[in-house]
A and B are shown apart, each in its own frame.
Chain A
Amino acid sequence: MSQEYDQLIQDLSPKKFGPKGKVWMAFLIVVILIGFYSYIQQLDQGLVITGMRDYALWGVYISNFVFFVAISLVGSLVTAILRLSGVQWSTPITRIAEIIAVAAIIMAGLTIIIDMGRPDRMLNLFIHGRLQSPIIWDVIVITTYLFISILLLYYPLLPDFSILKKHFNGSAKLRNWYSRLSLNWSGTSKQHQIYTRSIKVLSVMIIPVAFAIHTVTAWLFETTYRPGWDSTNFGPYFIAGAFVAGAGAVVAVMFVLRKTYGLEHYITDEHFDKMGKILVLLCLLYLYFNINEYLIPTYKSTEEEATHLHSLFTGEYAILFWTAIIGGLVLPVLVLLFPKGRKPLPLFVVALAIVIGAWWKRYIIVIPTLSHPFLPIQGVPESWRHYSPTWMEWSITFATLAAALLIITLLVRYLPIVPIQETAEERGLIHTAQTNQQS
């Protein structure tokens, strides 16, 4: 085996947590446990522990759900679109994107269950579900997307598991697991043929399903006749926003993993530069949709829309709204237009701003609209007209975010962050390695 290949395997093999990693894990577990306590209270007392009432019947849980769905779209962007368009530079970040997608879609599904007042009746969704309801479409699409995302994560791992089976220096138990998960991969031409074709089919399939998952999520709002949601533009608007959030998440995770595991040789400044350019394009596209979403209703200013828009532009939600638009979209574009802004650290800061802005943007999409229905509800206390999440709601929400990060952390702990075999192939090391093995 060539030294270079050996080094590559050593660099990209999964590594144990260092002290910082253990502290990080402990932190996530504590946050999850606090959220779990709150959820037990919610199960016991019902949704009354939340700030949701007759007006805001979708609260921070649903905005968090939309955020997770948005983040999950990144799997199709980086993995499928870039793979199908023959882009070579994306190889080191495909696995990160796939891991984020799987973690996000798992948590999206769980968040919906958390939002249920009676989760014990969840099976009724499947038993008595009506195909007329967009909620059933969402259930179907999320399940499908989760399945495809797992397959798209697993298939490219087969050769890597095979490599780790032979060359992993860690525990024998783990090596044994890699051996089982490699499904006897030996790289025969027949295996290669099935493998290549399967990944291509998955890459093609995941794009419409990914579009469907976020379009259907948009339809959940769009099919409800309310100011701010009554738009035919919502599907593409949500997809554009999801690409921004997902790409931002990939950049943020890329930066942390590169720094933690010393992957500067594999995830280079050039990757950040290119992801930065993609982010600019996506942010501009999303800005365009935002202008469409807000400018025309403002121009028409029907009574209910005007009340809703007033609360966003100058009213109760103005600070959140302008922070999300300017801090999460406009400023990132301005920074990323300059090459220095696309360097790893500035880009990481910008990506964090984009992800946080994306989270609050979903909050702004969900909550203010519910506060201003076309038909005001009669005879409810004034306090019910304004939604404010309770600390238990926040703790459950933070727990779901922590759980997503925990899934990512655990997958990163046990899977190669950068595809070993693909990287070796691109660097021309596979042939050398095989020759060396034969000799």
Chain B
Amino acid sequence: MRYRSKPRSLFLVFLLLIASVTVYSQDKKYRARVSLEHVKIMNEQSYIGISAKFKGEDGFEPASDLEFNVYRQVNEDSLVVLGKARSNSEGKAKFTLKETMKQSDTSGIYTYTVAIEDNEKFRDTDKSISFSEANLTVDVVTIDSTYHITAVLTDASGNALQGEFLKVGLKRLYGNLTIGEDNNETDENGAILVPVRDEMPGVEGNLTFEVSLNESDTYGTIKALISAPIGVAIEEESSFDQRTMWSPPNKTPLYLLIFPNLMILGVWVPLLLLMFNLYRISKS
């Protein structure tokens, strides 16, 4: 009996091994944590910002070079494929929503799903985002000789959105310089009015302001930009075309051209004459 049962038990052990290896290989896949945000830049574009990270051996790491499938949710259980996006080295990707891709449900809510599917490194997962459409208009006005930034936030139907917090910033090289309060609450007209008290420098006097509704649960992030020639023009102080100590040879300062060359001539002309004197000696 013993002898007969041996192949069967060996087969069972083999099956167990196969199963454990399969389970182990499944366990080796990481679980990506995906976060989504909707960003709308007025008169420019609207996109879904995707950010993914995973818990690696050294803590949380960005999930780079990861492909996402983007779907639009039509009904509660129906998805329409919109396209793909791939994360960069920081684990971030951007999926631009073209006008043809936008379609809300009957209550005016847009829902999109981002999914990781059939990835060798990460387990399948998905994340959805829902938001309502809103619009932001911005303008520069002068009140009592002071420039003001005014912005109006409305929903898709044009109704004013009261009680939302907008932020006003002046675009600089490495980010935005906050103008006024950190958050400005919209009034019953959905509007804010922020004075620009200081004179700000800008290229040719042009200043670009950004008003934003940041990470609203209902509307996502909405930004509006406006440029106006209300700054102090930056005067370029380049010495590129001048004769300086750090210029190329053809822009040597004149005094450094004149005096050293005079000295060189003052030494080398007599030296050449002295050479000639050797010739004179040989001929006399």
Contacts and interface: CB of A to CB of B under 8 A. Distances in A.
Interface string A192-207: 0011011001100100
B284 A191 contact: yes
Interface residues of A, number: 28
B239 interface: no
Interface in A137-176: 137, 140, 144, 147-148, 151, 154-155, 158
A202 B248 contact: no
A132 B254 CA distance: 11
B244 to A, nearest CB: 8
A218 B277 CA distance: 34
A137 B259 CA distance: 12
Interface in B203-259: 245-249, 252-253, 256-257
Nearest to B282: A183
Interface residues of B, number: 24
A379 to B, nearest CB: 22
Interface stretch (B14-22, B141-149, B268-276): B268-276
Contact of B281 (A130, A137, A194, A201): A194
B270 A130 contact: no
Contacts of A195: 281
B267 A205 contact: yes
A140 B256 CA distance: 14
Given A183-B278, A202-B274, A131 B284 contact: no
Contact of B274 (A144, A198, A209): A198
B277 A198 contact: yes
A201 B276 CA distance: 13
A131 B267 CA distance: 17
A438 interface: no
> Could you say which of B248, B278, B281, B282 has the most chain A C-beta atoms within 10 Å of its C-beta?
B281
Contacts of A148: 271
Nearest to B257: A131
Interface in A92-138: 128-132, 137
A398 interface: no
A194 B245 contact: no
A302 interface: no
Contacts of A154: 278
Contact of A151 (B248, B274, B284): B274
A85 interface: no
B268 A144 contact: yes
B249 A129 contact: yes
A224 to B, nearest CB: 14
A20 interface: no
A222 B5 CA distance: 94
A300 interface: no
Contacts of A130: 247-249, 252
A155 B277 CA distance: 10
Contacts of A129: 249
A16 interface: no
A140 B248 contact: no
A132 B280 contact: no
> Could you say which of B247, B274, B275, B280 has the most chain A C-beta atoms within 10 Å of its C-beta?
B274
Contacts of B280: 194
A185 interface: yes
A162 B268 CA distance: 28
B249 A131 contact: yes
A378 interface: no
A184 interface: yes
Interface in A201-237: 201-202, 205, 209
B252 A132 contact: yes
B240 to A, nearest CB: 15
A290 B74 CA distance: 88
Contacts of B257: 131
Nearest to B267: A144
Nearest to A152: B274
A185 B281 contact: yes
B173 interface: no
A13 B281 CA distance: 23
A128 B248 CA distance: 8
Contacts of B283: 184
Contacts of A140: 260, 264
Nearest to B243: A132
Interface string A389-423: 00000000000000000000000000000000000
Nearest to A158: B281
A210 to B, nearest CB: 12
A131 B256 contact: yes
A194 B246 contact: no
Nearest to B261: A131
A190 interface: yes
B281 to A, nearest CB: 5
A165 B145 CA distance: 100
Contacts of B284: 188, 190-191, 194
Contacts of A185: 281
Contacts of A132: 245-247, 252-253, 256
Contacts of B260: 131, 137, 140
A194 B277 contact: yes
A155 B271 CA distance: 12
A381 B247 CA distance: 34
B246 A205 contact: no
A102 to B, nearest CB: 15
Interface string A223-254: 00000000000000000000000000000000
B271 A151 contact: yes
B283 to A, nearest CB: 8
Contact of B270 (A183, A191, A201): A201
A198 B277 CA distance: 7
Nearest to A188: B284
Contacts of A190: 284
> Could you say which of B246, B247, B249, B284 has the most chain A C-beta atoms within 10 Å of its C-beta?
B284
B65 to A, nearest CB: 28
A420 B154 CA distance: 108
Closest 3 CB pairs of A and B: A183-B282, A190-B284, A132-B245
Given A132-B245, A132-B253, A185-B281, 8 more contacts: A131-B260, A132-B252, A155-B278, A184-B282, A190-B284, A197-B277, A201-B274, A205-B270
20 contacts: A130-B247, A130-B248, A130-B252, A131-B249, A132-B245, A132-B246, A132-B253, A137-B260, A140-B260, A144-B268, A147-B271, A148-B271, A151-B271, A154-B278, A155-B274, A184-B283, A190-B284, A194-B281, A194-B284, A198-B277
